[in-house]
């Protein structure tokens, strides 16, 4: 468990740093941040895509690799040489296809797996970042948009409920907001017009109102000494 989870934390430390530096470069116009992001991105590109951070071997490492790598690639695309871009495309084609083969069509017919309910929109991020550069990216985008349109959020209805405690609810919704912003910018689709999101705020208010220590449901319960 220590090694398996350690692969996740190492992936996040490196590629979250790369994405943060890449975005800081856009905000500041300071090229030193872009060059630092570039070095980290290319270092991660050398990792075996089907090794210890591969999606099927360890999805908790493979998922953050996919979205942090894609964000960094987008934000420093102009700093990369064509040879470096080709290396990134090679890596993400392998990783993206591995995710796609695991998720499609299974997740459309049985959309109840916890981790898959994150992975589909992470694959969508990869698809948008590499659209026109990786041949299969269009299929990945098609799949992600179909999941959103037809089976997301799977456990809930127009009343805004959730099937887990506040901790997992916050975690999964927070991750989804990235994809919501990407859909709006790329496809002109406002995710928050879905009826579910018009009532989403009631869930934490009812489950854990002010003054409570824990919701007593699912993954979040009050801790006592």
Q: What are the pLDDT digits (tens) for 1-25?
A: 678 889 999 999 999 999 999 999 9
pLDDT tens digits, 28-75: 999 999 999 999 999 999 999 999 999 999 999 999 999 999 999 999
Domain 2-153, classified CATH 1.50.10.100, yes or no? yes
Is residue 225 pLDDT above 60, yes or no?
A: no
Q: Write the DSSP string, 37-73.
A: HHHHHHHHHTS-TTTTT-TTT-HHHHHHHHHHHHHHH
Q: Which residue has the higher pLDDT, 212 or 9?
A: 9
Is residue 99 pLDDT above 70, yes or no?
A: yes
Give me the torsion for CA of 169, 175, 180, 186, rounded to 10°.
Answer: -170
36, 72 contact by CB (below 8 A):
no
Is residue 222 pLDDT above 80, yes or no?
A: no
Strand partners, 220: 217
Distance CA 188, CA 28 (A): 28
The mean pLDDT of 187-204, rounded to a whole number, is 93
Q: Write the DSSP string, 19-37.
A: HHHHHHHHHH--HHHHHHH
Domain boundaries, the chain: 2-153
Residue 159 parent element (H or E): none
């Amino acid at each position: 468990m220590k090694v398996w989870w350690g692969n996740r934390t190492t992936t996040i430390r490196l590629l979250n740093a790369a994405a943060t530096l890449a975005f800081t470069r856009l905000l500041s116009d300071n090229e030193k941040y872009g060059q630092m992001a570039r070095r980290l991105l290319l270092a991660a590109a050398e990792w075996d895509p089907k090794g210890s951070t591969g999606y099927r071997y360890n999805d908790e490492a493979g998922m953050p690799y996919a979205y942090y790598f894609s964000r960094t690639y987008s934000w420093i695309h102009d700093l990369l040489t064509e040879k470096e871009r080709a290396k990134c495309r090679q890596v993400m084609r392998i990783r993206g296809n591995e995710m796609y083969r695991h998720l499609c069509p299974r997740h459309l017919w049985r959309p109840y797996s916890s981790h898959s309910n994150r992975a589909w929109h992470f694959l969508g991020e990869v698809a948008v970042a590499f659209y026109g550069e990786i041949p299969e990216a269009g299929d990945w985008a098609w799949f992600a948009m179909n999941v959103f349109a037809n089976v997301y959020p799977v456990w809930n209805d127009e009343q805004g409920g959730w099937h887990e405690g506040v901790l997992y609810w916050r975690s999964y919704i927070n991750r989804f907001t990235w994809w919501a912003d990407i859909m709006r910018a790329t496809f002109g689709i406002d995710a928050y017009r879905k009826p579910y999101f018009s009532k989403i705020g009631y869930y934490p208010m009812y489950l854990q109102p002010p003054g409570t220590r824990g919701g007593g449901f699912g993954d979040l319960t009050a801790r006592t000494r």
